[in-house]
Amino acid sequence: MIILGIETSCDETATAILQKDKDRIIILSNVVASSASLQAKYGGIIPEQAAREQIKAIIPVIEKTIENSKLKIENLDAIAVTFGPGLIGSLLVGVETAKTLAKIWNKPLIPVNHLLGHFYANWIDVAPPKFPYLGLLVSGGHTDLVLFTDHGKYKYLGGTRDDAAGECFDKCARLLGLPYPGGPEISKLAAKGDHSKFKLPIPMTGSKDFDFSYSGLKTAVANMINYKRLTINDKQDLAASIEETIVISLIEKIIKAVKKYNIDQIMIAGGVAANQKLVSRLKTISHKLKTILHVPPPNLCTDNGAMIASAGFFTNPIQNPFILQADPNLSLTND
């Protein structure tokens, strides 16, 4: 089976063609166009501007994806598209394009929840993960801990009460004068710093639930910056401390959930899963807990069309493509 995946929930215009033969899912073509360099100038995403860029990019990106795959439109078996959550203008570009193409090419249309889609980056080009597994989604908009028992079947354990982990990286980066997206920038700076120099509060440490919270951490960083004129060495140390604090807070909840639910597989997904400190720390923990760790390659952690096509292999198409509506507020708790 061959699926074209379309992802436009935030500032990327990303499409990919994937093939599934028996258990193996492989990428035939994967194109990502991002307006992040434009957003970098403003320190964050301007939704209207992101959608305008996506309107310009969507058709050329799809054409390039088909061309790179060396396939013809007839070879596609279905179209999978992100229908939420995300920025409404951005989602509409992908959803309306997918609906139109499904109709004129006469292909089934598969609606994919972007949040579930992230996890399916872990199903590409590897032996399929086994259920049940604990999933942590850490992205710019979400921090969710979920226990998966099958495709589309899961128990929601907890999530952030305010800012997402990626959002905290982005906001702290901005406070430090670094460009958007802030996660990779903080990471780069942190590599030269010493995390023990600045003591930041570890959010929700010792709490009995599986929730997260990052707005307090951002405020603590803002207060430190206001209180002291930071040298470049201070900025490196503070960046190291921010990264360390976020990583510790995520790992604490993973360990707790693995023990409580007696799980032997951990899966992480989303842009922050590209953070190498988080990954290397999780590898050590996973070894100690005797669990198997699934982490996508960094280019499949951030938003991409391949994860949406991959999720499409395990999701039902809708009968009538025209009834599909973008849902900016879709979550893992309401579908």
Choosing from 8, 139, 241, 245, the residue that interacts with Zn ion (CB under 5 A) is 139
Binding window for ligand KG4 (CB under 6 A); candidates: 25-33, 92-100, 166-174, 207-215:
166-174
Binding window for ligand KG4 (CB under 6 A); candidates: 18-26, 68-76, 162-170, 279-287:
162-170
Choosing from 7, 144, 303, 327, the residue that interacts with ligand KG4 (CB under 6 A) is 303
Smallest distance from the beta carbon of 269 to ligand KG4, in angstroms?
8
Contact string 62-101 vs ligand KG4 (x = CB under 6 A): ----------------------------------------
Cβ distance 163 to 172 under 8 Å? no
Phi first, then psi: give them for residue 189, nearest 5 degrees: -65, -40
Cβ distance 68 to 31 under 8 Å? yes
Contact string 182-221 vs ligand KG4 (x = CB under 6 A): xxx--x----------------------------------
Using CB under 5 A as the binding rule, whether residue 82 contacts Zn ion is answered as no
Cβ distance 18 to 28 under 8 Å? yes
Tokens coding 170: 């982005």
225 dihedral zone (left: phi>0; alpha: psi -120 to 50; beta): alpha
Choosing from 7, 144, 170, 327, the residue that interacts with ligand KG4 (CB under 6 A) is 170
Q: Which of 18, 92, 104, 27 minimizes the C-alpha distance to 58?
A: 92
- Rounded Cα–Cα distance for residues 237 and 221 (Å): 12
Choosing from 6, 10, 80, 267, the residue that interacts with ligand KG4 (CB under 6 A) is 10
- Rounded Cα–Cα distance for residues 163 and 140 (Å): 9
